[in-house]
């Protein structure tokens, strides 16, 4: 998913616990689903950022060669302005864009 084009809010929004609970029937299950998805999103964003910043990496030990790179700063600022992974996952959960399954339920259904 392209997190740059998400319609998740940039700031924390108060949400109704009943609305979150309705999708799974259990508030805590819903929170765990969102938390696991937020972890996935966080890892993906971190990997993407590291790949972009890798080209600016300096492998010399000379501290005198440290300098400001405008492009590197802009990339970092862009990623700082993205919505937090928890907000993105909650938005995905509300829009039914998260696939989840319950293995315990699958065992009892068989």
Question: How many domains, the chain?
Answer: 1
- The reported pTM is 0.78
Question: Is 8 part of any domain?
Answer: no
Question: Is 105 part of any domain?
Answer: no
pLDDT tens, 48-57? 988 888 877 7
Range of the domain at 47: 13-98
User: What pLDDT does residue 86 have?
Assistant: 92
Question: Is 85 part of any domain?
Answer: yes
Residues 92, 6: Cα–Cα separation, whole Å: 9
Question: Is 6 part of any domain?
Answer: no
Question: Is 73 part of any domain?
Answer: yes
Question: Is 109 part of any domain?
Answer: no
Question: Is 4 part of any domain?
Answer: no
- Judge contact between 38 and 87, C-beta under 8 A: no
């Amino acid at each position: 998913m392209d997190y740059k084009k998400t319609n998740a809010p940039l700031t924390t929004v108060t949400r109704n616990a009943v609305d979150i609970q309705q999708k799974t029937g259990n508030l805590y299950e819903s929170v765990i689903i969102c938390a696991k998805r937020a972890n996935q999103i966080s890892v993906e964003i971190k990997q993407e950022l590291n790949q972009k910043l890798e080209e600016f990496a300096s492998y010399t030990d000379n501290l005198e060669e440290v300098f400001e790179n405008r492009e590197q700063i802009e990339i970092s600022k862009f990623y700082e302005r993205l919505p937090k992974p928890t907000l993105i996952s909650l938005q995905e959960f509300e829009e039914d864009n998260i696939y989840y399954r319950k293995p315990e339920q699958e065992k009892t259904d068989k």
